[in-house]
């Protein structure tokens, strides 16, 4: 690990004043510290934000608000989250290990970096880590990599389970900087790799996520998160789906579908949602709609199975809502 300066912020203004280019914010540290030890990330300044008043879960008429420093384990078991946004609670419980969920913050989870082995190995090229050096995953070992949202520069999957569930239900993030505060749709926070895979989010230097908000969405109350992985715990998704439906008279009035483990960012599936509206929640309907789940996929040599897997994952997740 390279040398760095360390500071503890007592207020949000103090934190953003100490942030900026070359700095990193420290909350749970479950991603940052690992990457600093590997020298994948080498911030010259680390600002500890754990003293900031960015905790709490509030449910109001307008929706749900979660403080950015609230721990994953706390949110996953909050009765308001479990009751009103079950897919969010399930996504959190499917993440990491109990120990990590107790440490990791909501804001940190949304900003965790890809688990691509080439990115985390400083002895290999990686366009995210060193722009212009190449992407060996394209022709190398790519079983766990993305089939949606890729480019010739990067095929790394986005790792967050929580982000998939939040994107499905139109979450926003509140961010603060020296210039003030703004609200960003979470779906727009994450950038496609394109020709600049090293620019992963729309955050500006020094901006700090202070909270996450979820609007009232009818489909959120009847929702689920399904994660398919190589082992039952402490493993990242090969494919996942966050789904929700609002039924009236057995007919789908509103549908929400987003997938993870297969794309370079949390991936909403509007074509699948449209194919469900006005139809009964029935296996033949769900199967026909899920046929659109991999539209635009660009599979690689070792991850072609993900095209069929994501369709089946969406079907299983949607059918679980009818039980």
Q: Can you tell me the mean pLDDT for 107-133?
A: 97
* Dihedral sign for Cα atoms in the order 123, 129, 131, 137: positive
Residue in 174, 214, 202 with CA at minimum distance from that of residue 91:
214
Domains by residue range for the chain, with CATH: 5-49 (3.30.43.10), 218-318 (3.30.390.50)
Interatomic CA distance for residues 179 and 63, integer angstroms: 27
Average pLDDT score over residue span 226-230:
97
Longest dimension (CA), the chain: 63
Please provide residue 24's backbone torsions phi and psi, each rounded to the nearest 5 degrees. -140, 145
C-alpha distances out from residue 222 to 39, 232, 254, 280, 319, Å: 43, 24, 11, 15, 11
- Bridge partners of residue 71, in order along the sequence: 105
pLDDT digit string (tens) for 157-215? 999 999 999 999 999 999 999 999 999 999 999 999 999 999 999 999 999 999 999 99
Q: Given pLDDT bands bounded at 50, 70 and 90, which one contains residue 27?
A: very high
CA distance 139 to 124: 13
Closest by CA position to 160, among listed 197, 189, 137: 189
314 φ, ψ to 5°? -65, -40
245 near 318, Cβ under 8 Å?
A: yes
- What is the share, in percent, of the chain residues with pLDDT greater than 70? 100
Polymer length in residues for the chain: 323
State mean pLDDT over 92-110. Answer: 97
Percentage of residues of the chain with pLDDT beyond 90 = 98
Q: What is the pLDDT of residues 249-289, one digit of tens each?
A: 999 999 999 999 999 999 999 999 999 999 999 999 999 99
pLDDT of residue 323: 64
pLDDT at 304: 98
């Amino acid at each position: 690990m390279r040398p760095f300066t360390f500071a503890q912020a007592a207020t949000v203004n103090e934190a953003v004043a100490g942030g900026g280019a070359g700095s990193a914010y420290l909350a749970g540290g479950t991603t940052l510290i690992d990457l600093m030890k590997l020298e994948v990330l080498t911030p010259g300044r680390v600002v500890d934000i754990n003293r900031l008043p960015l905790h709490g879960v509030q449910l109001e008429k307008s929706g749900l608000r979660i403080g950015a420093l609230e721990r994953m384990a706390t949110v996953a078991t909050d009765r308001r989250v479990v009751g009103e946004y079950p897919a969010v609670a399930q996504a959190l419980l499917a993440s990491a290990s109990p120990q990590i969920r107790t440490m990791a913050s909501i804001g940190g989870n949304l900003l965790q970096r890809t688990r691509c082995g080439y990115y985390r190995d400083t002895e290999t090229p990686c366009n995210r880590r060193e722009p212009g050096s190449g992407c060996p995953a394209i022709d190398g070992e790519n079983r766990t990599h993305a089939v949606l949202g890729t480019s010739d520069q990067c095929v790394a999957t986005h790792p967050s389970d929580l982000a998939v569930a939040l994107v499905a239900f139109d979450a926003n993030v509140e961010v603060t900087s020296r210039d003030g505060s703004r609200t960003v749709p979470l779906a727009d926070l994450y950038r496609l790799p394109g020709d600049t895979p090293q620019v992963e989010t729309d955050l500006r230097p020094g901006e700090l996520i202070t909270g996450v908000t979820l609007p009232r969405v009818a489909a959120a109350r009847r929702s689920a998160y399904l994660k398919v992985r190589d082992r039952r715990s402490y493993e990242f998704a090969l494919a996942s789906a966050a789904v929700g439906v609002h039924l009236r008279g057995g007919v789908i009035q509103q549908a929400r579908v987003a997938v993870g483990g297969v794309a370079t960012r949390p991936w909403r599936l509007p074509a699948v949602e449209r194919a469900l509206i006005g139809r009964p929640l029935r296996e033949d309907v769900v199967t026909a709609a899920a046929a659109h789940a991999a539209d635009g996929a660009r599979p690689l040599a070792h991850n072609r199975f993900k095209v069929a897997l994501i369709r089946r994952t969406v079907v299983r997740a949607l059918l679980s809502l009818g039980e």
